[in-house]
Amino acid sequence: MFWVGVAVVVVGLLASIAWHELGHLLPAKKFGVLVPQYMIGFGPTILSRRRGETEYGLKALPLGGYIRMIGMFPGESTLPAALARRRDPAAVTGWRRRLRTIAAEARQFSDEEVPAGAEHRTFAALSVPRRLVIMAGGRWRTSCSRSCCSPSR
């Protein structure tokens, strides 16, 4: 009986995570963003299936999930040149230098994974309201506004 309870909790957790990530995936796809992965869990992939340009899968540790969107960080070429000094790691010392280095590496990696000719399909190319809809989509998807689900006062 104990293992039945464990299985119910794990399946419920996976369903909750899948529902949350779907809240990010649907608006991203609707707005035309390239989404190469929709994964439930972390660690090694247990099973996966590719449909179109997206790989849907289940990973070994059911402790979260993610969708990978192309171009999450704007490239150096799309950022304002006037603020380049604020992004330069050499301009500061200590922990600020490390943070700026991490950000610069993330921007560089993000630039490298954008396919040629698909710059308009990146997350960073979207308008701010559309980016907000995608980011908040996970929250909206997991909340319930029905009276049966809201806490009683």
- Of residues 93, 21, 32, 91, the one with CA closest to residue 59: 21
Task: Locate the domains of the chain by residue range.
Answer: 2-71+113-142
pLDDT at 142 over 70: no
pLDDT at 144 over 60: no
pLDDT above 70 coverage of the chain, percent = 90
Q: Does 113 qualify as catalytic in the annotation?
A: no
Query: What's the pLDDT tens digit per position in 80-107?
Result: 777 777 888 888 899 999 998 998 898 8
Query: What's the pLDDT tens digit per position in 18-36?
Result: 999 999 999 999 999 999 9
54 contacts: CB under 8 Å, gap ≥ 6: 29, 35, 36, 37, 38
Task: Kindly report the average pLDDT of the chain as a whole number.
Answer: 86
2, 8 in Cβ contact below 8 A? Answer: no
71, 24 in Cβ contact below 8 A? Answer: no
Q: Which of 21, 55, 105, 119 is catalytic?
A: 21
84, 104 in Cβ contact below 8 A? Answer: no
Query: What's the pLDDT tens digit per position in 46-55?
Result: 999 999 999 9
Across-strand partners of 42?
61
pLDDT at 136 over 60: yes
Where would I find the H helices in 2-142?
2-30, 84-87, 95-112, 128-142
Pairwise pLDDT comparison (150 vs 57), residue with the higher score = 57
Across-strand partners of 45?
59
pTM value is: 0.76
**Rounded Cα–Cα distance for residues 67 and 37 (Å):** 5
pLDDT at 147 over 60: no
